[in-house]
Each structure stands twice: as structure tokens, then as C-alpha cells.
Amino acid sequence: MKTIKAGEVIYAKTNAELLNGLLGKHYKAWMKADYPLDIDEMLWMPRLDGVVRAGWRNMMQNGQIVEEYVGGHPYPSNIYVGLNIKRRAVFEKCDRGRYFIFRGVFELDSDSTLTHRILRPIKDEISL
């Protein structure tokens, strides 16, 4: 088991390569930005640059992560995932997908809604 601290850079070109290196998986591809770790925690691999992708805008603001759905109706099938899973180990995808930065473990704020979520930092390290 390896402990990863916030700010640590992990060189991986794809989500699958990150999962394979961190969790000892053998994926050829993993297109989703999330991976379940347990019933209410996931590993999340977003870009946090504020650019809208598939209707979602994700960004860091004042040490928190803001996740907004701005794509309108109908909602995508994954809109409920973020409210069901309360904690996220966040690995920010950077530089056109050449590396990831571990940002910490974040927890969904109770004021979050279906389309506007605030994630507050709760831990600056994780053991995988």
C-alpha cells in the first residue's frame, strides 16, 4: 500500500494508466472520470480548469472544488452519481492528459444540489 500526499504528481497519460499504476489493475482503457473505491468513496480524475465538458464545469476555488452542470435538460445519466458518493479522492488531469496531480480527499458539502456541488477538502493524503 502506497501513501500519496496532496500535490504529488503522477505521470500517466490516461485514466486507465493511472488506475493500473495506483491500484494494480490491468485496464486497456477506462474512459470514465470516476472509479469506485467503496460504497461512498470514489477516485475522481477531472480537469479542474473551468472548461465545460459534456455539460460539466469543474474548477478549484479557494481550496474547494466546484462542480456545476450547465448543460441543461435532459440531464445525463450520471447526474446522480455525485450526490450518492460523498467522498472523492481527486487526481486532477493536467497538461493534455500527460500527468495527474493528487489534490486530496474531498467531501460533498451538505448544501450541494443536483447541478451545483461544492466539495471541501478533508484529507491531504490517501493510502492505496
Domain range for 37 is 3-127
Cα–Cα dist 102/19, whole Å: 13
pLDDT for 76 equals 84
Enter the pTM of the model. Answer: 0.92
Interval 4-18: pLDDT, tens = 999 999 999 999 999
Contact present, 118 and 60 (Cβ < 8 Å): no
CA angle 116-49-93, nearest 5°?
105
**Count of structural domains within the chain:** 1
CATH code where residue 119 lies: 2.30.280
